[in-house]
Amino acid sequence: MWQTLPLGPAHFDLSPYNCVSSHAGNPLLISREALCSESWFDSTRCNPSSNRRALLVEARHQFEQAALPEERAAFEEFTTRSAHWLEDYALYQALRDSQGDLPWFAWPTPLRDRKASALNHARKTLSDARAQIRFEQFLFFRQWNNLRQAANARGIRMFGDVAIFVAHDSADVWSHRECFQLDKHGQPTVVAGVPPDYFSETGQRWGNPLYDWEKHEEEVIALWADRMRTQATLFDLVRIDHFRGLDAHWAIPAAEPLPAAGRWVPTPGDKLLTALRERCGTLHLVAEDLGVITESVDNLRRKHHLPGMQVLQFGFDGDPNNRHLLHAHDPLNLVYTGTHDNNTTLGWFNSLPHEVKDQVLGYFGYPAEPMPWPLLRFALASVANIAILPMQDVLGLDGEHRMNTPGTSTGNWQWRFDWAQVSEETANRLAHFTWRYGRTTSDCSER
């Protein structure tokens, strides 16, 4: 199983949980090499090292000139099937570019408020930019589906992630203002966040606008169903980030800068999850049930038979009944050494006080192998049905390589790896432990 972060086009902070669309794919993930190998792309005019924007523009021109009828039909099928989100997204992106990347709520009032005459004029004047955006989305979904098919053919399932809230400056909010708690100028009256927890002593103020469940419950459910149907075309199962927000969400008055000024407000999560199951077919969901988890949140997850998450790094607070400890794991759940919001396991261990380090090593029987391998090995040994190992942990990397530090807005989401980092020793060790703990049908005993 391969779990990814959300794949949408991010803002300048690069956060995949703060995208300009909850449907669209990030054009930066379009493979240059795969693009240049298309039958309709003249290889003499394809330079994989050229500017990405120029390459994508050239690709569209080549497609319009040389694509076969079946390829044109695939493009038409995609744009027709995706029109319910693609047309608004293409117009939003074209307008945003024409407005110097200003957010939609800073556009001229007729565009901000989606006046019909202003939108019709924009569609005409920005027709070429809209066509380019549609084409790039066609490429993204085409390449991703090819990747998913290749993975599935090798017995690998694709595991996605969907943010519970959407970005204020997004095509979703601009085109569905009625679904969010906004004033007449398009500004949120309340915003999302969380109170103090493991990840932040002061809490977090995310700033996302909150859904208007009270006035527009059916419209919000329809918006969610559309989002999840798109995810179902990309993934075999999907994690709902911040699942506890489906039981109650932390609402912070927009004028208040401190997260502690918020309060818990009930969410109709039971009705939403029931509707998603009815409207989205075979949609396999996972609940990110970390943070302040109450009995009510746990009951909601269990009622809908959703796996939750248990994270080994969270187990060492001195409580022998801590649900993240190995002996407390539930087969229904997923086990992680850490998540994208945690430090790497090596970075986490190195930062622990001496007495907590001893507690960790003692719990695992003072293993001889160096960190982070004890936690990787015991994650694979867990009774949890699915074990997810962050790539940084597999590579044994320290805290300089963490993906995200919650509560901060700079320096995140930039980590990358190269296949040259994956040594034969690492591959053999991972293969052996995967086989040893019954997580593969391949016989790796000799490795």
Q: Given the residues 247, 341, 393, 398, select the one marked as catalytic.
A: 341
Q: Specify whether the CB–CB gap between 105 and 185 falls below 8 A.
A: yes
Name the burial class of residue 392, with classes exposed (0-12), middle (13-18) and buried (19+) by CB atoms within 10 angstroms of its CB: buried
Which residue's entry shows tokens 């004033």?
A: 183
> What values do phi and psi take at 114, rounded to 5?
60, 45
Using CA atoms, how far apart are residues 50 and 275, in angstroms rounded to an integer?
46
418 is catalytic: no
For residue 246, the number of C-alpha atoms closer than 13 Å in the C-beta half-sphere is: 30
3 state SS of 353: coil
3 state SS of 283: coil
Q: Which of 256, 268, 267, 275 is nearest to 190 (CA)?
A: 256
Separation in Å, CA 170 to CA 273, 297, 380, 404: 24, 28, 39, 22
Q: Given the residues 136, 288, 289, 393, select the one marked as catalytic.
A: 288
Region label for 366, one of left (φ > 0), alpha (ψ between -120 and 50) or beta (otherwise): left
Which residue's entry shows tokens 């867990």?
A: 382
* Alpha carbon 100 to chain centroid, angstroms: 27
Q: Specify whether the CB–CB gap between 346 and 372 falls below 8 A.
A: yes
Output the six-digit token pair for 244.
């506890």
288 is catalytic: yes
Using CA atoms, how far apart are residues 220 and 228, in angstroms rounded to an integer?
12
Q: Given the residues 241, 247, 289, 398, select the one marked as catalytic.
A: 241
> What values do phi and psi take at 124, rounded to 5?
-75, -50
Under 8 Å CB-to-CB from 80, ≥6 apart: which residues? none
355 is catalytic: no
The catalytic residues are 241, 288, 341
